[in-house]
Amino acid sequence: MDLLENSGSWLSLNEIENARANLPIVYVDAIPVRVDANGEVTEVGLLLRAMPDGSISRAVVSGRVLHKERVRDAIMRHLEKDLGPLAFPKLPASPQPFTVVEYFPDESVTGFHDPRQHAISLAYIVAIEGECAPSQDSLDLIWVSPDAATSPEFEREMVGGQGRLVRMALAHCGLLP
Amino acid sequence: MDLLENSGSWLSLNEIENARANLPIVYVDAIPVRVDANGEVTEVGLLLRAMPDGSISRAVVSGRVLHKERVRDAIMRHLEKDLGPLAFPKLPASPQPFTVVEYFPDESVTGFHDPRQHAISLAYIVAIEGECAPSQDSLDLIWVSPDAATSPEFEREMVGGQGRLVRMALAHCGLLP
Amino acid sequence: MDLLENSGSWLSLNEIENARANLPIVYVDAIPVRVDANGEVTEVGLLLRAMPDGSISRAVVSGRVLHKERVRDAIMRHLEKDLGPLAFPKLPASPQPFTVVEYFPDESVTGFHDPRQHAISLAYIVAIEGECAPSQDSLDLIWVSPDAATSPEFEREMVGGQGRLVRMALAHCGLLP
Amino acid sequence: MDLLENSGSWLSLNEIENARANLPIVYVDAIPVRVDANGEVTEVGLLLRAMPDGSISRAVVSGRVLHKERVRDAIMRHLEKDLGPLAFPKLPASPQPFTVVEYFPDESVTGFHDPRQHAISLAYIVAIEGECAPSQDSLDLIWVSPDAATSPEFEREMVGGQGRLVRMALAHCGLLP
């Protein structure tokens, strides 16, 4: 979620601070899943991330859409950044997200929380067919069963409401335990 | 769309006639598509079929869900029957169809028409990654661009409202011309 | 869920038994909700029902689609049967259900369970604007908050997986606790 | 689509220019519809608008989401601005849009075009139950049948791809002619 990168239209740190203070920022959330031959989800991928405050959290793939970037390109870019170049993600054919997540600095508004900004995120479920090699600020990636992914143990390790987002994704797949 | 097959619970011709006369029949429609590396649809697959009345039509993959068969299994079975065993279809992770099609013997009800029965069909868009070898009553399969698939020329070759279904599928993919 | 009624195409008890033994039956599930002025769900409606085995359960509105009946007409018919004629339900403009539920006699298949039959159900969330007067086999109707509707207390009072269906509906509305 | 208003976080004209030049802007599109007692769309509402360049166009309801504004509140605000305070819009219970529209200054990218900015818009179908009184820069509102709304005559009067968006909305409602 490095907001400094901005292909083709660089923003200074100051300009980013200003934008964040005045506009909702467009995000994409991608829930990586393994599926069986029939397309049914068998496992959910959770990243291990170092957070800005130094703590460690489980997380899904998430990041900003850049100026003049297609939504599909943004999802692919963040997946490659977090899962490496050989993950071979299969994006859905439709741009319809399974939900829209509204992250607010004040966590009482929606329960989805981002201390830095008001972000509006399009959330997709993405089947991953290749080999993953977590990179950049992702320390690790684990694949867990739908039951494990929605367990209190893992949900406690996720912040900002992402544990709830994982449960919403599994509900959409008919697999909420 | 051979209603005689019925894995595990064989129906006599007479019983099928009776069921069709008294109950809506559950169907699945699968619109085969080719997608690019970002998941965007580049081509639509259209079958060439010999119809019961001896005419030839373009069509999408369509067929009945059997007793005690999972919806996913039904989609895979019909895809394999029509596209062969090496098509490697990628079903969506969610059971949510992009639309529900109501086929009536009377075509004035919904515009979707099946002279044999009242069928309620769950419609999905399915990316095809492998090699297709049309089989059984499918005489041929062609891949056409979204623009061509929605052209009056191809729409005239489809019956029962399937030309409209293809346009609805492309609208769902953000690609209605 | 009285399978004897069948507007325009009466089925004998024997024919229903035969159909249930040989075909999946098309159902609709409607989750009644109260919404605020912005359309956000504030309460979920749960019926109290006498079950075939004499027990009492909480349930959502659910029933069969008849031969030559439109899906919308089936949803309206079951809502009126369970909530009375002054409920003024507001059906979604799109036929796309939020999920498809596969009820099997064997509950190990999907977790959704109907001892009588294999049913494939299109599930919708329906805002109720009017006054409800539970009728027929519905003994009572209560409105509960999303939090209460997903509590273990209420979930224990629902059978066949309907507690899970309520959670899936709330997840789709962005309100899974 | 007046970007100067910004409840709670005022942006100078200069800051808006800067944001538009550096970030995608979050929009909502609402397609107003009249529905019958069963929820089926009977008419589509089209605004008559004076465009920035002085021309007159047909359009759906569309506008920006403000900083710290809920998506639902933004839709309601734009509907009230364009249809007046007595329109009584019925927003869907789910935040899942029927599609996401990507408007680019370069119309060759997606076919959806906004000369001023890169906008990413969440599109919803909204049933209108009350009386409409077009206000502000909406000169008029007409209700037309699905067939008329998708006719070449009306599509020619819409700009930026909104004619296509109306067809996509009707496809989602099962009513694409």
Name residue, tokens 């589509």: D44
Show the domains of chain B with their CATH numbers: 13-172 (3.90.79.10)
Enter the tokens of residue C100. Answer: 């498809």
Strand (E) or helix (H) holding D13: helix D13-20
CA distance C78 to chain A (A): 24
> Which residues are registered as beta bridge partners of B43?
B34
Q: What percent of chain B has pLDDT over 70?
A: 91
Collect all residues of chain C within an 8 Å Cβ-Cβ radius of residue A122.
none
Q: Do D99 and A96 touch (CB under 8 A)?
A: yes
Neighbours of A32 (CB within 10 A): 23
Between these two residues, B119 and A52, which has the higher pLDDT value? B119
Q: Looking at residue C11, what is its pLDDT?
A: 63
Q: Are C115 and C21 in contact (CB under 8 A)?
A: no
φ and ψ at B13, to 5 degrees?
Answer: -55, -40
Cross-chain residue pair D15–A18, CB shorter than 8 Å: yes
Retrieve residue D164's tokens.
Answer: 């296509």
Helix axis angle, C13-20 relative to B13-22, nearest 10°? 110
Among candidate residues B42, B61, B49, the one with its CA nearest the CA of residue B149 = B42
Q: What residues does B31 pair with on adjacent strands? A: B125
pLDDT value of residue A165: 98
Q: How far apart are CA C31 and CA C166, in angstroms?
A: 7
CA-based nearest residue to C7, from C51, C90, C57, C70: C70
Local confidence pLDDT in tens for the 177 residues of chain C: 343 344 444 566 677 777 777 899 999 999 999 999 999 999 999 999 877 777 889 999 999 999 999 999 999 999 999 999 999 999 999 999 999 999 999 999 999 999 999 999 999 999 999 999 987 677 799 999 999 999 999 899 999 999 999 999 999 999 999
Pick the closest to residue B57 from B43, B46, B69, B71 (CA basis): B46
Put simply, the answer to whether D26 touches A21 (Cβ < 8 Å) is no
Residue pairs spanning A and C at CB distance below 8 A: 30
Q: CB–CB of D97 and A100 under 8 A?
A: yes
Cα dihedral A13, A17, A22, A27 sign: positive
C11 contacts chain A (CB < 8 A) = no
| CA–CA dist D114, D105 (Å, integer) | 5
How do residues B63-94 score in pLDDT, each as one tens digit?
Answer: 999 999 999 999 999 999 999 999 999 999 99
Tell me how long chain C is: 177
Neighbours of chain D (3+ CB pairs under 8 A): A, B, C
Summarised one tens digit per residue, pLDDT across range A30-53 is 999 999 999 999 999 999 987 777
Residue whose tokens read 């009126």:
C80
Burial (CB count within 10 angstroms: exposed 0-12, middle 13-18, buried 19+), residue C151: middle
The Cα–Cα gap between D55 and B163 comes to 36
How far apart (Å, rounded) are the C-alpha atoms in residues C41 and B105?
38
Is A174 in Cβ contact with C110 (below 8 Å)?
Answer: yes
- State the sign of the Cα–Cα–Cα–Cα dihedral D148, D149, D155, D159: positive
Which residues from chain B sit within 8 angstroms of residue C21, using beta carbons? 9, 67
pLDDT top residue among B52 and D33: D33
Q: Which residue of B has its CA nearest to A41?
A: B93
- Chain D CB within 8 Å of residue B8 CB: no
| CB of A155 less than 8 A from some CB of C | no
Question: Rounded distance, CA C50 to CA C58, Å?
Answer: 9
Show which subunits contact A, needing at least 3 CB pairs below 8 angstroms. B, C, D
- Specify the pTM: 0.93
| D176 in Cβ contact with B164 (< 8 Å) | yes
d(CA D128, CA D122): 18
Q: Is D97 on the interface with B (CB under 8 A)?
A: no
Is B14 exposed, middle or buried (CB count within 10 Å of its CB: 0-12, 13-18, 19+)? exposed
**Whether C71 contacts chain D with CB within 8 A:** no
Residue D13 pLDDT exceeds 80: no
Spell out which residues of chain B touch residue D176, defining contact as CB-CB under 8 Å. Answer: 164, 167-168, 171
pLDDT at residue A19 greater than cutoff 90:
no
Task: Outline where DSSP puts E strands in chain B.
Answer: 25-35, 41-50, 56-59, 61-64, 89-90, 99-103, 119-128, 138-144
Kindly give the residue spans of alpha helices, DSSP state H, lying in chain B. 13-22, 71-83, 146-149, 152-156, 162-172
Alpha carbons B66 and A125: distance in angstroms, whole number: 28
Phi, psi (deg, nearest 5) at residue A22? -130, -15
User: Which of A97-101, C131-135, D59-63, D140-144 has the least mean pLDDT?
Assistant: C131-135
* C28 interface with B at CB cutoff 8 Å: no
Q: Which residues pair with A125 in a beta bridge?
A: A31
Q: What is the mean pLDDT of chain D?
A: 90
Residue D11: predicted pLDDT: 63
Looking at chain A, list the stretches that DSSP marks H as alpha helix, in order from N- to C-terminal side: 13-20, 71-83, 146-149, 152-156, 162-172
Does the beta carbon of C171 lie under 8 angstroms from any beta carbon of chain D? no
Q: In a 3-state reduction of DSSP, which class is residue C2?
A: coil
Query: What are phi and psi for residue C33, nearest 5 degrees?
Result: -135, 155
State how far the alpha carbon of D10 is from the alpha carbons of A154, D5, D15, in Å: 40, 7, 10
When pLDDT is cut at 50, 70 and 90, the band that residue A5 belongs to is very low
Report chain D residues whose CB lies below 8 A from the CB of C70.
38
- Is A26's CB within 8 Å of D22's CB? no
- Among D23, D75, D102, D104, most A C-beta atoms within 10 A, so best to mutate, is D23
> D47 to chain C nearest CA, in Å?
20
Whether chain D has a CB inside 8 Å of the CB on B86: the answer is no
Check if B7 contacts D (Cβ < 8 Å): no
Q: In whole angstroms, what is the distance from residue C31 CA to residue C128 CA?
A: 10
Q: Which residues of D touch C96 (CB under 8 A)?
A: 172
Using DSSP's 3-state secondary structure scheme, residue D39 falls into coil
Write out the two tokens for C76. Answer: 């309206």
| CB-CB contact of D123 with D27 (8 Å) | no
End-to-end CA distance of chain B: 30
What is the residue-averaged pLDDT of chain A?
90
CA distance C90 to chain D (A): 6
CA pseudo-torsion sign D77, D81, D87, D91? negative
* Cross-chain Cβ contact D120/A21 below 8 Å: no
Chains that touch C (3 or more CB pairs under 8 A): A, B, D
Cβ–Cβ gap A172/C99 under 8 Å:
yes
Longest Cα separation, chain B = 49
| C-alpha dist (Å) from residue D35 to A18, B143, C162, D39 | 43, 38, 29, 5
- List the one residue out of B164, B159, B169 whose CA is nearest residue B49: B159
Q: Look at residues C152, C147, C131, C130 and name the one whose alpha carbon lies nearest to residue C42.
A: C147
Chain centre distance of CA A57:
13
Nearest C-alpha in B relative to C21: B67
Nearest to D90 among C33, C90, C95 (CB): C90
- Local confidence band at A8 (pLDDT 50, 70, 90 cut-offs): very low
Beta carbons of B18 and C21 less than 8 Å apart: no
Determine the pLDDT at residue A172: 98
> Residue B9 pLDDT > 90, yes or no?
no
Is residue D59 classed as helix, strand or coil in its secondary structure?
strand
Tell me whether residues D93 and C37 touch, CB distance under 8 A.
no
Q: What share of chain A is helix, strand, coil (3-state, %, to 5)?
A: 25, 30, 45
* CA dihedral sign of residues C70, C71, C75, C81: positive
Q: What is the DSSP string of C110-160?
A: TS-B-TT--EEEEEEEEEE-S-----TTEEEEEEE-HHHHTSHHHHHTB-T
| A118 in contact with chain C, both atoms CB, cutoff 8 A | no
CA-based nearest distance C130→chain A, Å = 28
- Coil, strand, or helix at residue A132? coil
CB D20 within 8 A of CB A9: no
Amino acid at A150: T
For residues B5 and D72, the model is more confident at D72
State pLDDT tens for residues B100-114. 999 999 999 999 999
Mean pLDDT of B112-127: 96
**pLDDT, position B11:** 63
Query: Is A109 touching C (CB cutoff 8 A)?
Result: no
Give the closest-approach CA distance of D140 to chain A in angstroms.
30
Q: Which residue has the higher pLDDT, D33 or B1?
A: D33
Cβ neighbours around A143 below 10 Å, total:
16
Task: Tell me the ipTM for this assembly.
Answer: 0.91
